[in-house]
Amino acid sequence: MNFETISVIGLGYIGLPTAAMFASRKKKVIGVDVNESAVDTINQGKVHIVEPELDMIVHSVVTEGYLKAVTMPEPADAFLIAVPTPFKSTDNNAAIPEPNLKYIESAAKAIALVLKKGDLVILESTSPVGATEQMAGWLAEVRGDLSFPAMKGEDSDIRIAYCPERVLPGHVVRELVENDRVIGGLTPKCSQAAIELYKIFVKGECIVTNARTAEMVKLTENASRDVNIAFANELSIICEEQDINVWELIELANRHPRVNILQPGPGVGGHCIAVDPWFIVAKNPEQAQLIHTARKVNDSKPEFVINKVKSVIYELASKQGIQPSQLTLVCLGLSFKADIDDLRESPALYVASAISSIHKGKTLVVEPNIKELPAELNVLELESLECAIEQADIILTLVDHKEFKSLNRSILDGKCILDIKNIFS
Ligand code: SAJ
């Protein structure tokens, strides 16, 4: 197939880098986003998200005229949908959060208006099993004049596939090119068309399966990591009771040739690993026992850390014969993992915020990757690393940023350290 014009719907953490990669291979790319300010920023050759190397690529492809951003879809030969799939309800008491496909639905209905015979539509958004068939249904609802794989199979006017993104934030530009892709076409011809599209910039292997398997592969990858992290977090809670150093325990157990335990921490954050396993649980609540339990273990870890901090504050105050409010607490790190600025679903942010409302004394936070605190944390003070440590009575490590790892240990002398990320031992 000849892809002269490629359109990417949703210009966020995945869509913008993907659009930029196609454009860097001298394809005409139309990026579509409902966020006007993001569209304006991109059309100025700038980026609204932080991702290494992306700013340079976007600047050059916009300047050279290969990428433009718009708010309404325009005709193209291939459409990639990379919009978010949040939960249905914001009600935190819901036992099992359900995925909300409203953004996929509105993206599908918007591109349906400009679809023409021969076009390829790919869903990249992390989605529950069955979402690609559902998306095809939404396209067909709007375009009764076109045929789709569900009715015409290989002879359909429109080709449809599910191809999940699997790139790691912070390494997106490299991983987009190098990672293998799973291609789940609704028919073999759909898969073939999708491979031809991705081969424009993907150097990894493109492996074909059906759409439902491809959807489940994506969810499985992130659920697998979640279950493994839950195991490490559960060990950390058991070790606390048993007075065993969990880091030493894991290091020793990992000397076994077939054991590879991940690292415990304050919980699991980000918009993927803490979210995607629920898409499996929501569809198969009876069967997904282990995946569900892992979610609960990881979600309970921030409370465990908060309770630990409370008891350390009271123990230290009583040892020093002072009021807890006279102690200064420093939280190291707010982002959801090391060396990024992304605070979304961050357990470190949750812990710091909870502590600020519990601890009556001063609470300082150090987050080298941001310039100001989000509004909901304005009761806290953002401080530089050295200044915060100088004032600290208690230091709580929440994220293992490189700046913390390279800290001169001598300035920690005499401080009470709660090293949740094992930075200083
Ligand atoms: N974490 C731990 N212990 C560990 C590893 C991670 O507590 O040993 C925590 C991190 O601190 C963070 C969370 O888990 O809070 C998630 O971090 P991550 O680095 O495991 O993953 P993400 O969310 O940045 O990216 C994941 C990746 N998926 C897998 O590695 C299977 C990435 O490849 C996906 O593309 C991405 O989700 C996504 O978009 O789905």
CA 224 – ligand 1 centroid, Å: 10
Which residues have C-beta within 8 Å of that of residue 378, sequence separation ≥ 6? Answer: none
Q: Is the CB of 273 under 6 A from ligand 1?
A: yes
Q: What local confidence, expressed as pLDDT, does residue 376 receive?
A: 78
CA 10 – ligand 1 centroid, Å: 22
Q: Whose CA is nearest to atom 28 of ligand 1?
A: 222
**Cα distance between residue 268 and residue 346, in whole Å:** 7
Closest ligand 1 atom, residue 225 Cα: 31
Q: Is the CB of 169 under 6 A from ligand 1?
A: yes
Q: What local confidence, expressed as pLDDT, does residue 425 receive?
A: 81
**Cα distance between residue 5 and residue 312, in whole Å:** 60
CA 293 – ligand 1 centroid, Å: 18
Q: State which of 167, 173, 272 you would mutate to test the pocket of ligand 1, scoring each by most atoms of that ligand within 8 A of its C-beta.
A: 272
**Cα distance between residue 210 and residue 216, in whole Å:** 10
**Cα distance between residue 1 and residue 159, in whole Å:** 11
Q: Whose CA is nearest to atom 25 of ligand 1?
A: 168
Q: Is the CB of 66 under 6 A from ligand 1?
A: no
Q: Whose CA is nearest to atom 32 of ligand 1?
A: 168
Q: Is the CB of 270 under 6 A from ligand 1?
A: yes
Active site residues: 218, 272
Q: State which of 18, 127, 168 you would mutate to test the pocket of ligand 1, scoring each by most atoms of that ligand within 8 A of its C-beta.
A: 168
Q: Whose CA is nearest to atom 27 of ligand 1?
A: 168
Q: What is the pLDDT along the chain (425 residues), one digit of tens a residue?
A: 789 999 999 999 999 999 999 999 999 999 999 999 999 999 999 999 888 899 999 999 999 999 999 999 999 999 999 999 998 875 556 689 999 999 999 999 999 999 999 999 999 999 999 999 999 999 999 999 999 999 999 999 999 999 999 999 889 999 999 999 999 999 999 999 999 999 999 999 999 999 999 999 999 999 999 999 999 999 999 999 999 999 999 999 999 999 999 999 999 999 899 999 999 999 999 999 999 999 999 999 999 999 999 999 999 999 999 999 999 999 999 999 999 888 989 999 999 999 999 999 999 999 999 998 888 777 788 999 999 999 999 999 999 999 999 999 999 999 999 999 999 98
Q: What local confidence, expressed as pLDDT, does residue 377 receive?
A: 79
Q: What are phi and psi of 412, to 5 degrees?
A: -95, -5
If you count DSSP H runs as helices and E runs as strands, how many of each does the chain have, helices first? 15, 13
Q: Is the CB of 171 under 6 A from ligand 1?
A: no
The residue assigned the tokens 């869509």 is 15
Q: Is the CB of 271 under 6 A from ligand 1?
A: no
Q: Is the CB of 222 under 6 A from ligand 1?
A: yes
Q: Is the CB of 280 under 6 A from ligand 1?
A: no
Closest ligand 1 atom, residue 165 Cα: 35
Of 62, 75, 108, 59, the C-alpha closest to 4 is 75
**Cα distance between residue 38 and residue 23, in whole Å:** 18
CA 72 – ligand 1 centroid, Å: 33
Q: Is the CB of 380 under 6 A from ligand 1?
A: no
Q: Is the CB of 262 under 6 A from ligand 1?
A: yes
CA 273 – ligand 1 centroid, Å: 6
Of 36, 27, 35, the C-alpha closest to 7 is 27
CA 226 – ligand 1 centroid, Å: 8
Q: Is the CB of 61 under 6 A from ligand 1?
A: no
Dihedral sign from CA coordinates of 203, 209, 214, 220: negative
